[in-house]
Amino acid sequence: MNSPTSALELRAPARWQRFIAPLITPEIFDFWAARVHPTLSWQRPLARVVERTQASVDAVTLRLKPNRHWAGFRAGQHVNLAVEVGGTRLTRSYSLSDAPRADGSIAITVKAIEGGRVSQQLFRAAKVGDVFDIGPAFGEMTIAASPQSPIALLAAGSGITPLMAMIRALAADGMPAPVTLMYWARTREEFCFADELRELAKKFPAFRVVFFLTRAEAASADERQGRIGNEAIALLADVEKHQVFACGPGGFTEAARTLVAATAQSFMAEAFTPPPQIVDETGEVEITLTRSQRTLTVPRGQSILSALEAQGVRPAHGCRMGICNTCACAKPSGTTKNLHSGNVNAEPALALRICINGATSNLTLDL
């Protein structure tokens, strides 16, 4: 049974807004509503930490309960989370690591990144009861319901998180297709979900998991040693019949693309860091910010977002990987280069993702 507070959370925005809208602003409503229930709001999607568990030696899983304004997700997608660190509100993108659940709760698994202000805050200090602003789910790397073709999941490091959500969704569906997970980490202690993955492999004959260690010796039948390469991919019989999904650092996903994209039935990848780049641009360009009426001189060869931040400008941003589009802005004029693909674009753009594009000429941006 719902408590009076949780029932109020569900009813208030739906039944009261049309009556009290002339009397109060959403900001004032949210201020006082938070004193009744931490996730009661006029229209802001909020999520409260309801459980915290250690996922590995350097990762923590936070289970969150979003309020009614959050629209849900599909396994494999991401969310932006706004976290206050040292009095500054910062937004970062995290993969959802669990499948959709009947109770509406969601989970993110956060790896503590050296120098990462938000990841360190969540890993070390996030606790039950904390409330965060949460953005809508985004991302195209998802699996169709009840797939029939064999599936290969290639994960490195924190790249396991969206793939784990897929595995849990497939398990809830009875594992309708053969699934092979290949999972790379430096040491055994850095594997997340290892016990659960082994239990799923015992429960479902169609599910196989292989752990790859890059800095330790293999010690069990489901472990191997070494980085991604032809020897690892050879463990997949009939690659051409597989849907392949890869997630991890940029270098890892590019290696996976080289190894299997041309032969697999389909291939999708998401990189948590940009692929290695050899940038030969030199010199500087001017960026004119029309809204703030500033003109800045920045170096070529780095992302526009990083260049602006170095000048003290703080544009809205999220994932910093070109996925969430939070940083996208209009570019009325100028030439840019996509730092992932190397493509150069001189056409006016309505949604330039400044986290993955660098300036190659003077630019005008709607910032």
pLDDT digits (tens, 9 = 90+) for 265-274: 999 999 886 5
* pLDDT at 117 exceeding the cut of 60: yes
Mean pLDDT, rounded, for 49-62: 97
Q: Which of 40-54, 138-152, 333-347 has the highest mean pLDDT?
A: 138-152
Mean pLDDT, rounded, for 212-240: 94
Work out the angle between the directed axes of helices 194-203 and 160-172 (0-180°, nearest 10): 30
| Mean pLDDT lowest among 15-24, 177-186, 196-205 | 15-24
* pLDDT at 10 exceeding the cut of 50: no
How far is residue 230's CA from residue 259's CA, in Å, rounded to a whole number? 7
Q: Which residue has the higher pLDDT, 212 or 21?
A: 212
pLDDT at 318: 83
pLDDT band at 177 (very low <50, low <70, confident <90, very high): very high
Residue 50 to residues 15, 53, 63, 66, 84: CA-CA distances in angstroms?
Answer: 27, 10, 6, 10, 18
Taking alpha carbons only, the member of 322, 332, 331 closest to residue 353 is: 322
* pLDDT at 278 exceeding the cut of 60: no
Question: Does residue 191 come out as left (phi exceeding 0), alpha (psi in the -120 to 50 range) or beta?
Answer: beta
DSSP state of 356: S
At residue 48, what is the residue type? R
Looking at the chain, how many residues does it have?
367
| Mean pLDDT lowest among 84-98, 255-269, 335-349 | 335-349
Q: Which domains, ranges and CATH numbers included, belong to the chain?
A: 4-134 (2.40.30.10), 151-271 (3.40.50.80), 284-365 (3.10.20.30)
Work out the widest C-alpha separation in the chain, in whole angstroms. 67
* pLDDT at 8 exceeding the cut of 70: no
How far is residue 134's CA from residue 60's CA, in Å, rounded to a whole number? 18
pLDDT band at 6 (very low <50, low <70, confident <90, very high): very low
Question: Does residue 327 come out as left (phi exceeding 0), alpha (psi in the -120 to 50 range) or beta?
Answer: alpha
pLDDT at 274: 56
Collapsed DSSP state (helix, strand, coil) of residue 227? coil
pLDDT digits (tens, 9 = 90+) for 25-47: 666 655 555 666 666 665 689 99
Mean pLDDT, rounded, for 330-337: 87
pLDDT at 11: 40
Dihedral over Cα of 67, 73, 75, 80: its sign: negative
